[in-house]
Amino acid sequence: MHTKKFLILPVLLIALLLAACQGSAAGGKTITVEGAWGRPSPKVAEAGAFYMVIRNTGKEADRLVSAESPACGMTELHESVMNAQGVMEMRPVAGGIEVPAGGQVELKVGGLHVMCMQKKAEFQPGARIPLTLHFEKAGDVALEIEIRQQ
> Could you list the residues that contact another protein (CB under 8 A)?
39-49, 74, 78, 80, 82-83, 85-91, 109-110, 113, 115-118, 149-150
Q: Report the nearest approach of another protein to the CB of residue 42 (Å).
A: 4
> Closest Cα partner for 128 from 8, 40, 17, 4?
40
- Closer residue to another protein (CB): 8 or 109: 109
Q: Report the nearest approach of another protein to the CB of residue 49 (Å).
A: 4
Q: Report the nearest approach of another protein to the CB of residue 52 (Å).
A: 14
| Residues paired with residue 47 on neighbouring β-strands, in sequence order | 117
| Residues paired with residue 81 on neighbouring β-strands, in sequence order | 89
What value does the CA radius of gyration of the chain take, rounded to a whole number of Å?
20
Amino acid letter, 53: V
- Closer residue to another protein (CB): 3 or 149: 149
Cβ atoms of 104 and 32 within 8 Å: the answer is no
Distances (CA, A) of 21 to 25, 26, 28, 68, 104: 6, 9, 11, 28, 26
Q: Report the nearest approach of another protein to the CB of residue 64 (Å).
A: 17
- Closer residue to another protein (CB): 76 or 98: 76
- Closer residue to another protein (CB): 80 or 104: 80
- Kindly state the DSSP code that residue 83 receives in the 8-state scheme: -
